[in-house]
Amino acid sequence: METLLSKEDLRTALSEVRRFARGVVSARIEGPEHPLPRPTLERLLSEATEAGFVPDATEEATGLWVDLDDPMGPTLSARTIETLAAVNPGIAWTCHVRAMPVWLARRLNKPEALEEKESVVPLQGYHGLGRVALPRYLAGAQLEGDDRAMLRDWLSPAQPGARRVVHAPAGFKAVLSPYFDGEAVRWIRQPIDALDPLPAGPTLGLDEVDAVALASSDAGTPLGPDDPEEARKIFAEALVIQSLALVAVGIGCLRHAHDLAREQARSRVQGGQRIEHHPAVQSLIGSADTALLATDALLGRMAEGPLRGNRIGDVFAARAEAHPLLCRGATDALQVFGGSGYMQDVGMEKALRDSQQLRLMGGTPGELERFVSEWDRVR
Amino acid sequence: MNQQPHLDGYLSPDHPLSPRGLFADLPAAIRPMVTPKVTTVWEQDTATLPSALARARKRYRSFAEQELRRRALPIDSAPHLEPGELHPSLADLLKSAGREGMLTDLLPRPLGSASLGGYRHPLVWTQALRAEELSRVCAGQMLLLSAHSLGVIPIVFAGDLAAMRRFVLPAYRQSLAGDPHIFAFAITEPSAGSDAEEGHGASGRRPGTVAKRVNGGWSLQGRKVFISGGDIAKSITVFAALENEGIESWTCFLVTSDMPGFEVVRTELKMGMRASAAAEIAFHDVFVPDDHVIGQPRQGWAINRATLNASRYAVAGMGVGLAQGATEAAIDFACRTELAGKALVNFQEVQLQIADMMTETSAIRGMLWQAARKAYVARQDRSSMCKFHCTDRAVHVVEMALELMGNHGTLHDSGVEKIYRDARLTQIFEGTNQINRLAVIEDQQEQLLARIERN
Ligand SMILES: Cc1cc2nc3c(=O)[nH]c(=O)nc-3n(C[C@H](O)[C@H](O)[C@H](O)COP(=O)(O)OP(=O)(O)OC[C@H]3O[C@@H](n4cnc5c(N)ncnc54)[C@H](O)[C@@H]3O)c2cc1C
């Protein structure tokens, strides 16, 4: 597809997002210790939709994950999420969660998938990343031994009590689930009641977002696609998009933590001088600085467009590298605050919890590395 | 379900090539040297302790399992209370802890509840074992109990028998009778955190809490922040400078919460260790009589540093306990979670992670026990080394546990996300881990200076 977005367009679009994030979103946040009340979150989402950052079900909708055939498209979406996350990671993640069903319905060419306005796309398998079965499947390699059982169980766990967890604001009405049918990962639209949703309680981070545990069920409307090759591509693309979102939220979060730490180091006096002059503190801020620089470059690489599922090896490798860096940066930024970093009203502990949570969602660094190794071997 | 005969990738224990039966045919004199009993790491480690400490360790574990376990998650997610309010379940915990002698075990019987046998070994070792076992189950409740001991230590280190008789013994008697009398330790001020923990920063610092001489005693003015248990303590060892002097004039005062002018300003909303409140306390011309000075005027800095040198071993113990708790939670998860019909523990990558966690935890326990075993004198370099290294590695172990559990680790019910939030504090308090590194160097200064001269 032809390039529609220029670098200049990208800059302009992101400065609008920045204005929205700093003007509209920040104004609604009472403090890091007060997760946004649900109605406020919903209002913000409507405003983000009206502003064109989060797509709705209409044909002409714009926003996250819409222009992914454009070489700049993935970058625009990822940087939009990053910009929102620098103000509030939970809101940024929620915008992504709202945009995913729109992307999927368009990609599957099934507008009816969006019949229920509020649906989610759970890409979190039961545990891990389907071990070696997933890279083999996505690379189009021969599935061996337990691979089929692994993929089936990973996406639709059958053992009693096993549930997949979705990190999304509760109250969604339908789920667009991937499932493995023995041949390919296809999609099914499931009414939420068929999945017996249970609140999974508070989570380590992303306070604005709920955790909902879903049972497995076959009930629902199949969404295809019929072509197994197409199915493979679409699932890989979905995982790439999720990876971009997770890393983008993490970078926004670290950017915020880094700026707060820099500010604190400039004003706090201990050991006879402003603490920014102590090498111990310089190392901490330097660690956040280098983590930002490195992850920014990794995200740039991950988001090179147009979106292609066969880049999943590179994208997972970059994600495996990015999350430990983001967590290191966040914990070191917190340390600059000493005891006050541990207090919720300062915002640093939230940034650290959010970073850790992002590391654990959608495959951990270790799982991503093992994916990459097998992907590399079988391709 | 039948027990699996062996883990994937291993021989079953009764296979001729397995280490279990392997040594049976070796000569009788050699066999005992190469055939260990099948025991848990906990049993192996406990067996290396002197008998009094082994008994203490078992007692701490059983207290933690009986009293802390059931409260750990509910208290962590309970709503934040107003300053001075205590969750009823924690009030009950304190009563039981009092009756069980867990609030009085700094001193040996008949003064306190520690066994005389245990007292033959360094106090910091016992306290580190205690911190480990309690933190393994719930570090928040551990802090509620341990911050109290921290508040008493300055009185012990002041060597002030009169103060012990007047303040500690009656409080201990009360606690043993089931009416807990809690102490707290207050050095940190809004403008002096690290400066209250290390001499170089302290030397130039204008003190924020000041004691002015008045008839019959002292009038205290100022604020202390982040004081663990400062909201419920009846007695607080407060460090204040004398009027118009620097921190070198620090004096330790025993302030009681019923003294006019004492105020609990607020308690913080914390990341973790939520069973223990961190309080901001204010002194509005609080009159403290002369007989409430602990030790002598101007001995405060020395008492403070001696207290920190001792208590940092206990913080290292917290790290070991938190790492142990996370490791056990991850192992439990790996054994009960199935994927494609197999328990996760069958997968080699999971086994590697478990082995790393067990080994890291063993390594920091070994470091701490080795240092504490001979710590009749609590050395600054050793206690700081243990504090920063054990807590840094502990956080790493907890991160590994989260990684093993993946997305499930993010859920409150997993218990490990709480352990992570709790563990993060151990890198900050009792001196940040940066300040503790500097404390190692400070204690090695003479040797380092000598080498410069020699060069
Ligand atoms: C939950 C909690 C409970 C606590 N309980 C108690 C308690 O019961 N009693 C009590 O008195 N205190 C307590 N504290 C206070 C605690 O000991 C201090 O927070 C800690 O010593 C750090 O001081 P600070 O917070 O002022 O950080 P700061 O001193 O402001 O440190 C900020 C950063 O600067 C660095 N820094 C500071 N000085 C230097 C230097 N000279 N060289 C190099 N780097 C430096 C630090 O390492 C840190 O990274 C508690 C704190 C917390 C969070």
Query: For the domain B43-181, what is the CATH code?
Result: 1.10.540.10
B106 has pLDDT over 50: yes
Q: What is the pTM of this model?
A: 0.97
Tell me the pLDDT tens digit for each residue of A209-262. 999 999 999 889 999 999 999 999 999 999 999 999 999 999 999 999 999 999
Q: pLDDT tens digit string along B125-155?
A: 999 999 999 999 999 999 999 999 999 999 9
| Substitution target from A264, A276, A356 for chain B, most B beta carbons within 10 A | A356
Distances (CA, A) of A294 to A19, A83, A283, A318, A334: 26, 17, 16, 10, 19
CATH class, range A7-109 = mainly alpha
Report, as an integer, the average pLDDT of A32-45.
90
Contact (Cβ atoms closer than 8 angstroms) between residue A345 and residue A307: no
Please tell me whether the interface predicted TM-score (ipTM) of this complex is above 0.95.
yes
Question: Would you say residue B205 has pLDDT above 80?
Answer: yes
Mean pLDDT of chain A: 95
Half-sphere exposure of A31 (CA within 13 A, CB side): 7
Contact B171, B234 (CB under 8 A): yes
> Which pLDDT value is given to residue B227?
98
Q: Do A271 and B349 touch (CB under 8 A)?
A: no
Is B411–A272 a contact, with Cβ atoms under 8 angstroms apart?
no
- B406 and A335 within 8 Å at the Cβ level: the answer is no
CB pairs under 8 A between A and B: 147
What is the distance in A from the centroid of ligand 1 to the CA of A59?
A: 55
Asked whether the predicted pLDDT for residue B307 surpasses 50, the reply is yes
CB of A358 within 6 A of ligand 1: the answer is no
User: Using 50, 70 and 90 to split pLDDT, how confident is the model at A3?
Assistant: low
Contacts of A157 in chain B (CB under 8 A): 339
CA end-to-end span of chain B, whole Å? Answer: 70
Question: Are the Cβ atoms of B410 and A211 closer than 8 angstroms?
Answer: yes
- Residue listed under structure tokens 């750990």: B72
Q: Is the pLDDT of residue A1 over 50?
A: no
Q: Which of B344, B409, B412 sits opposite A360 (nearest CB)?
A: B409
Q: Do the Cβ atoms of B413 and A201 come within 8 Å?
A: yes
Q: Are B344 and A127 an interchain contact pair (Cβ–Cβ within 8 Å)?
A: yes
Return the CATH architecture of domain B302-454.
Up-down Bundle (1.20)
Residue B105 has pLDDT above 50, yes or no: yes
Superfamily of B184-300 according to CATH: Butyryl-CoA Dehydrogenase, subunit A, domain 2 (2.40.110.10)
Averaged pLDDT for residues B448-453 = 92
Question: Which protein residue's CA is at the shortest distance from atom 12 of ligand 1?
Answer: B188
> Looking at the predicted structure, is the pLDDT value of residue A162 above 70?
yes
CB contact under 8 A, B349 and A366: yes
pLDDT band at B74 (very low <50, low <70, confident <90, very high): very high
Ligand 1 atom, smallest distance to A338 CA: 27
Burial of B420 (0-12, 13-18, 19+ CB in 10 A): buried
Ligand 1 centre distance from Cα of residue B432 (Å): 6
Using a 6 Å cutoff on CB, does residue B147 contact ligand 1? yes
Tell how far the Cα of A22 is from the centroid of ligand 1, in angstroms.
31
Q: What angle do CA B32, B37, B41 make, to 5 degrees?
A: 130
Tens-place pLDDT, residues B350-360: 999 999 999 99
The CATH number of A231-378 is 1.20.140.10
Mean pLDDT of chain B: 95
Interface probe, candidates A124, A276, A360, chain B, greatest B C-beta count within 10 A:
A360
Pairing of strands A211-214, A164-167: antiparallel
Give the nearest ligand 1 atom to A270 CA. Answer: 38
Closest CA to B337 of B418, B404, B417: B404
Mark yes or no for CB contact B193/A211 under 8 Å.
no
Distance B192 CA to ligand 1 centre (A): 8
Tell me how crowded residue B162 is: count the other CB atoms within 10 A of its CB: 10
Tell me which residue in B226, B347, B411 faces A200 most closely, judged by beta carbons: B411
Query: Quick one: closest CA in A to B419, which residue?
Result: A204
Give the pLDDT confidence of B363-399 residue by residue, as tens digits.
999 999 999 999 998 899 999 999 999 999 999 999 9
Q: What percent of chain A has pLDDT over 70?
A: 99
Q: Does the beta carbon of B194 lie inside 6 Å of ligand 1?
A: yes
Confidence of residue B25 (pLDDT cuts 50, 70, 90): confident
User: Is there an atom of ligand 1 within 6 Å of A338 CB?
Assistant: yes
Residue extents of the structural domains in chain B: 43-181, 184-300, 302-454
What does each C-alpha distance from B44 to A30, A234, B54, B268, B393 come to in angstroms?
52, 53, 11, 40, 22
Q: Write out pLDDT tens, residues B266-289.
A: 999 999 999 999 999 999 999 999
In which band, very low, low, confident or very high, does the pLDDT at B1 lie, cut at 50, 70 and 90? Answer: low
Report the largest interatomic distance among the alpha carbons of chain B, rounded to a whole angstrom.
84
A103-127 pLDDT, tens per residue?
A: 999 999 999 999 867 899 999 999 9
Measured CA distances, B339 to A116, A323, B410 (Å): 32, 25, 19
Q: How close, in Å, is residue A279 to chain B by CA atoms?
A: 10
What residues does each domain of chain A span? 7-109, 133-227, 231-378
